[in-house]
Amino acid sequence: MEDLVDIVIEDDRWDGFGLSAAVNRAARAVLAQLQLDPALFQIVVMGCDDARIAGLNGDFRDKPQPTNVLSWPSEERGAEYVGEAPALPEPGLPDDPAPLGDIAIAYETCVREAAEQDKSLDDHVTHLLIHGILHLFGYDHIEDEDAELMENTERQILAGLGIADPYAGGYGQHG
């Protein structure tokens, strides 16, 4: 059986932070919320720096500046109707888990945002990872109704982990 998350560290500061533990905690919390077996899914997360994520943001979103987290679902997922939860993906097998997609998270941006928002780095990174993982499942925040659903789902998952509502201070989540 493979692990739920495959971690790629491009910036050693993420090792010092404990990215692997944070990613596994966030991923398991999301899958528990969605009532999915973590043994049947696979996520890849890359811990990088601002320069690397700025390049990715430019390549994939035509926004060549750093952002906190980026997600690339393994396939297009989304709800049929605005404000509706996306359909859940088909699970894989324990020895061949279904790929959900890839996430990149940038160290400097996370540290800066946590300080600006007076949040612990661990809580902020956990929130961003949950946010990114929900994107892999087809959640988005383009339409107001979809943003409300995604944010409420994040709040529920975070509350289960003992983390305060990240939106209470009026802060956004994704650059």
Assess contact for 147 and 141: CB atoms under 8 A: yes
Structure tokens given for 148: 């409300």
> Domain coordinates of the chain in residue numbers?
5-160
Q: What is the pLDDT of residues 12-51, one digit of tens each?
A: 999 999 999 999 999 999 999 999 999 999 999 999 999 9
Work out the pLDDT band at 170, boundaries 50, 70, 90: low
131 in a known ligand binding site? yes
Query: For the chain, how big is the Rg over CA atoms in Å?
Result: 15
Q: What is the model's pLDDT at position 175? A: 45
- Residue 141, marked binder: yes
What confidence score (pLDDT) does residue 168 get?
86
135 is in an annotated binding site: yes
Residue 152 confidence (pLDDT) above 70: yes
Q: Which fold has domain 5-160?
A: Collagenase (Catalytic Domain) (3.40.390)
3-state secondary structure of 100: strand
